Amino acid sequence: MSRKDRRAQQKLSGRAGAVPPPPARPTPAIPIDTVPLLQQQAMGAYQAGRKPDALAVCRQILKLQPMRADVMAFGGMIALELDRYAEAVELYRSAVAIRPDFAEAFYNLGNALMKLDKPEEAVAAYGRAASLRPAMATAHNNLGNALQALDRLGEAAEAYRKALAVTPDALEPMRNLGIVLHKAKQGAEAAEVFRRVLRLKPDYASIYSNLSTVLLEIGEAGEALAVCDKWLALKPGDIEALAHKAVALKELGDRASVRKLYDFDRLTHRAPIEVPASYSSLAEFNEALTKHVLAHPTLYLPSPEDPHYHHPALYITGELFAEPKGPMADLEVIVRGATERYLRDHPVDAGHPFLAKHPKRWRFTCWAAVLQGEGNLSAHVHLDGYLSGVYYPLVPDVVGAEGQGSSGFLELGRPPTDFHSSTEAEPLLIRPEPGLLVLFPAYVYHRTVPFKADQRRISIAFDMIPIE
């Protein structure tokens, strides 16, 4: 094109230097049946168990029809089931932005936020769902759970009561109400709630734990004993039921029954180990165990909110019978041999609830407790175990020294301080020594007597856990 021709074209375009826009391309029409077909694909993939595919198809639909709150909610549900919680939150937030009255989406948004450990945001989502749908009992119940996580116990109790106003015999909010009342130190009220649960469902095993715990705390030992007996009829040999029964018997002054249940002379084993052949001495083996524990990647100081917390000087490890085991492999052999001998030496005895039935199969779990120069392990039991034990690779010099009394000893049979106590316990005190292995029934409350020292105290604990 010549310069003259270009000037003529610019003049025709209306302004010099402008380039005519290309002709607009028509937007391709979406076939009318595309979205319904995609919806069928999404549902088919979901029903076939191909959840990631179903979620991907939901995303395709939303590209074509970005205002589909129902598709967002369906995708959010799938993301929740896939444990993709952040994605679920994003989808549910989009759904409620389009439909502010979408109660179910607000409810599930709360569920996703709780999975992300964001209870404050979950409270807002559940609260909105409950206000939109006052008859949605699950929204009130889960609102209570979120409030309880924030330690807003009074508000949580009110949320559970609203759930029960909608569904008066619903067991989950009823139990949750009892739990939050117990946390709020309203023991008598909590006990009454738990009694109501058991009237509705007498085989609700975990409620026996809740009720007997509260009763022992408020000093109702007689009823606690009756509850434990019903619990044991439902679940013979239950570790926590036996633990609570022993406490109730002590409070009722039935020392003979407590002695029979604990039977320390018969049921507690304590003996030094035989040094593994690969070590020249007990000191060398214990030094290897000590180094392994202190260098273990799972060793940590639990926070006061952690269920493993006992004292600010107590550190614990995770599983020690997992690779790399190092010297723990030798200790595992020792533990397995000791527990097998224990079972042989304590044959089945129908007259004792602990020995009435040995587990047919079992597994082991093992961890270490490191007390950094002071502190104690509070009285506790190991609920998953059948037989519990402890080995001592490192003990401070003050333990057992003249003038130190029982500081740092292992004490068996003293209940937790949370339980009401009007009678003195008759505990068994065992002096820890390097190389000592102790075995005892898992239902026996045990603790470390407080001590102070300029050395560490390391105990390696383990449980023999029945496999159903």
Beta bridge partners of 459: 369
pLDDT in tens, 14-55: 433 344 444 444 444 445 578 999 999 999 999 999 999 999
Report in angstroms the alpha-carbon separations of 255 from 231, 246, 423.
Answer: 21, 9, 10
Q: What is the helix (H) or strand (E) element at residue 51, kind and residue range?
A: helix 51-64
Single-letter code of the amino acid located at 450: P
Cα–Cα distance for residue pair 71/91, rounded to 1 Å: 9
Cα–Cα distance for residue pair 185/208, rounded to 1 Å: 18
As given in the structure block, the two tokens for residue 169 are 């015999």
Residue 324: asked if its preceding bond is cis (omega within 30°), the reply is yes
pLDDT in tens, 54-91: 999 999 999 999 999 999 999 999 999 999 999 999 99
Mean pLDDT per 10-residue interval, the chain, length 468 residues: 45 40 47 83 96 97 96 98 98 98 98 98 98 98 98 98 98 98 98 98 97 98 98 96 98 97 97 96 98 97 79 91 97 97 96 95 96 83 96 95 94 96 96 97 96 93 94
Residue ranges per domain, the chain? 35-259, 266-466
CATH architecture of 266-466: Sandwich (2.60)
Cα–Cα distance for residue pair 238/289, rounded to 1 Å: 33
Cα–Cα distance for residue pair 303/279, rounded to 1 Å: 37
Fold type of domain 35-259: 1.25.40
3-class SS letters over 236-275:
CCCHHHHHHHHHHHHHCCCHHHHHHHHCHHHHCEEEECCC
Among candidates 409, 463, 449, 456, which has minimal Cα distance to 289? 456
Contact 105, 137 (CB under 8 A): no
